[in-house]
Structure 1
């Protein structure tokens, strides 16, 4: 048996109703949602379970809601299965879920921190100034050159999320992203789709948010991670609090190296990825990076129960 990585999704994976089934059926998951509501001083669980979608999509609600949902599924899973990961990783906001799973950050502290992170990101760039777009079918190097050329003309645009081969998200000024949409065909992009987001996440325009987050992270109690957590910024494992803090600050304005992170994990012998939280986004990306690995999406009570059957069947 190869090694196992627990992985956690980021913004974009949210959906109204997420986590409600485990909240109702599992005491350990209910405790997580109740703890989040208490830590924040408002009913985050109501927003996650009932919406409306417009409210759930506000960055400072989305981030704590996704973190809470991921950890609620993780706790229900842990109560039913004795499966320990060799590594943990998360996509953008999901890196905080991974750090909670690895015991580096306490859950309530993480919820408050990502709520603040969401607020800082929301406030960093006035509405209508920034944008993001998904570029499909382009080579990374060619897209990097195009972004550098556009940025040198004064319209900032950068690689934000390197998700999997042929799927890269760019982020920056409205003009910069518009130029990539217009010129994507030049570098062989099949399609360039503007994303519905409230800001230019993971671009240098987010530096004001990084600076404010640095103050919060400096005060955040943190322990060494019990298992290595792969950082988005470096696509390498970290465990020590000092380095974790530094990379979380950088992460806000840097590229999310998801493809590189998954490739690094596979190179360490990981052949099973278990995704905790809403949707199946990461399982889909991981399969596009390497079809041979096993992926499980723990996004419902049914999936938790089914996991037992699948792993029992595969170990016969």
Structure 2
């Protein structure tokens, strides 16, 4: 059988209009957005389809919006193609989407969890105090060493995302993130400050992690029906007992996306399908593991190509 991974994006994949085409062609996707709107007590379709970008990108709005887009895409895709995943992997927030689609978290609970996760992360560090920067064209050892040199005996700046060999993100207090980028650019690297509302996936998020743990303990989780890769370990979840621990650790730990993709390659995964907004994870997979063919369900041309593939075959193209 053709080994497949379903990929679920996180923050940074959003755009005004996301989900509109999907809901027009899929009744189940449209109902998923309606269900989320009822849970959130505001019109999620209006916000995603034609709302203000500044309102959409507020973390407590964006996280449930991204999750809903992914779950709606998963439901529409599986209804259209009938394909099942061998693995699921979600980037940051996308890990909650993956766990939801794998049956471990009820959708109603996932929407509430995502909204509170965003709220807790936003509250953890005051606005304009934290920052994140994407670093390119320099080895990860140099980035890690520079972060340690700038931080000293504090946790003021560290690597937050190992996205690809040529894109590593650092996160922390703004002044220390700027110091790191200055040092690295003088060494020949390229650095870009990210438009984010808080410094995610670093020790500064510990207050958010503590609140999130307390919140997660209120919910009931089930065992996953598919193998879901943890951002923290880059390995599949072993059972529902590890869900709270992994999701809490994820908030203060770097996203191990490179190792996650390499793990999938070692497991002979041949096809990746991104389910959610945009094509961020498609592009990262093309860079990290070019031997794995990858498509996004948010692109009409990719959907057409997927329709030409026997997703139950041992070969990608017949």
Q: TM-score, normalised by structure 1?
A: 0.95
SS in 1 for 2:112: helix
Post-superposition Cα deviations, 1:160-216, rounded to whole Å, max 9, x if no partner, equal: 010001100000001110111110135542x11111111111110000000000011
Post-superposition Cα deviations, 1:201-245, rounded to whole Å, max 9, x if no partner, equal: 111000000000001111122100011110001111104112111
1:277 aligns with 2:276: yes
SS in 2 for 1:232: coil
Describe how 1:234-253 pairs up with structure 2 within 5 A: 234-253=233-252
State how many pairs are aligned: 315
1:203 aligns with 2:199: no
Describe how 1:1-316 pairs up with structure 2 within 5 A: 1-152=1-152, 154=154, 156-189=156-189, 191-300=190-299, 303-311=302-310, 314-316=316-318
| TM-superposed deviation, 1:268 | 1.2
Distance in 2, matches of 1:140 and 1:188, equals: 13
Moved more, 147-156 or 47-56: 147-156
Distance in 2, matches of 1:154 and 1:253, equals: 14
Sort the Cα spacing of 1:145 and 1:202 in 2 relative to 1 into closer, same or farther, 3 A. same
Sort the Cα spacing of 1:263 and 1:314 in 2 relative to 1 into closer, same or farther, 3 A. closer
| TM-superposed deviation, 1:269 | 1.4
Sort the Cα spacing of 1:287 and 1:302 in 2 relative to 1 into closer, same or farther, 3 A. closer
- Whether the 8 Å CA contact 1:117–1:209 is kept in 2: the answer is yes
RMSD, aligned CA: 1.6
| TM-superposed deviation, 1:155 | 7.2
| TM-superposed deviation, 1:29 | 0.7
| TM-superposed deviation, 1:25 | 2.4
Post-superposition Cα deviations, 1:264-287, rounded to whole Å, max 9, x if no partner, equal: 111111121110011110010111
Sort the Cα spacing of 1:214 and 1:81 in 2 relative to 1 into closer, same or farther, 3 A. same
Q: TM-score, normalised by structure 2?
A: 0.95
Distance in 2, matches of 1:127 and 1:231, equals: 29
Distance in 2, matches of 1:311 and 1:290, equals: 22
Distance in 1, matches of 2:244 and 2:11, equals: 20
| TM-superposed deviation, 1:311 | 4.3
Post-superposition Cα deviations, 1:118-166, rounded to whole Å, max 9, x if no partner, equal: 0001111011110000000111112111101111065711000100011
- Whether the 8 Å CA contact 1:22–1:29 is kept in 2: the answer is yes
Name stretches of at least 5 consecutive residues in structure 2 with no aligned partner: none
Distance in 2, matches of 1:148 and 1:187, equals: 16
- Whether the 8 Å CA contact 2:159–2:202 is kept in 1: the answer is yes
SS in 2 for 1:75: helix
Name stretches of at least 5 consecutive residues in structure 1 with no aligned partner: none
- Whether the 8 Å CA contact 2:67–2:97 is kept in 1: the answer is yes
